[in-house]
Amino acid sequence: MSLTREFKAGKLNVKIYSNREEMGKAAARDAAAAINALLSEKSEINIIFAAAPSQNEFLAALAADKSVDFTKINAFHMDEYIGLSKDAPQGFGNFLRDRLFGLVPFKSVNYLNPSADNPEAECERYSKLLSDNPPDMVCMGIGENGHIAFNDPPVADFNDKKLVKVVELELVCRNQQVNDGCFASIDEVPTHALSLTVPTLMKPKYVLCMVPAATKAQAVYNTINSPEISEKCPATILRTHDNATLYLEPDSAKLL
């Protein structure tokens, strides 16, 4: 395991690895260990997963981990565009189905519906699922603007009363989807999405945050070094969590 540097930012554990693959493998090993610890205490657990190219190495390593009993895990995903067809390749549920949800035998997989006729009703439906199945772990990333899930700075609320909400996507967030190769142009990127809120993401016992790539270097720097923990950089909230780890590689850690 090629861990090159490790330190704390507030309560946040920060681990830097020699490359993306090693970062993903290390995060998957830590996730598997946490899953097995949780399953030693309860018969089934609930995990929230992020959908983004930044998660590819982690998802591949976790799917291949034979120590994990996926039949005891209920899977959720943390955000979804509004207005895409259910079979759209850019859909986050489809992304996770292809890279994890469809590869291993989860007890259940719970998708946000991108084509729901009533997005507010879809938020209520998914909120009830989360209330009935309180998440034990979240596996996530950080956006170029410091967002977590689709909680961009203008809509992030550290004291949000909702579990899931409809959000308008900031331009820099929509441009990131083009930069990641998910859409050919900004005109194709939806303007609104369904997103789990910041309190929903921070409530689970374990938070694992995988952030590779040079395009995330400034967001990583801000997450760790912003003088205040605030919605101006939503990911700064990670510094307050009792059991959160940020996994980086040389490109994303280049400003540290």
Domains, in order of start, for the chain: 3-248 (3.40.50.1360)
Element (H, E) at 209: strand 206-210
Residue type, 211: V
pLDDT at 1: 58
Q: Per residue in 92-111, pLDDT tens?
A: 999 999 999 999 999 999 99
The residue ranges of the chain whose pLDDT is under 50 are none
pLDDT at 127: 98
pLDDT at 86: 82
pLDDT at 227: 97
**How does DSSP assign 6-20, residue by residue?**
EEEETTEEEEEESSH
d(CA 216, CA 125) in angstroms, rounded, equals 33
pLDDT at 246: 98
d(CA 228, CA 45) in angstroms, rounded, equals 33
Residues 197, 237: contact at Cβ < 8 Å? no
Nearest to 48 by CA among 197, 162, 168: 197
Radius of gyration, alpha carbons of the chain: 17
- pTM given for the model: 0.95
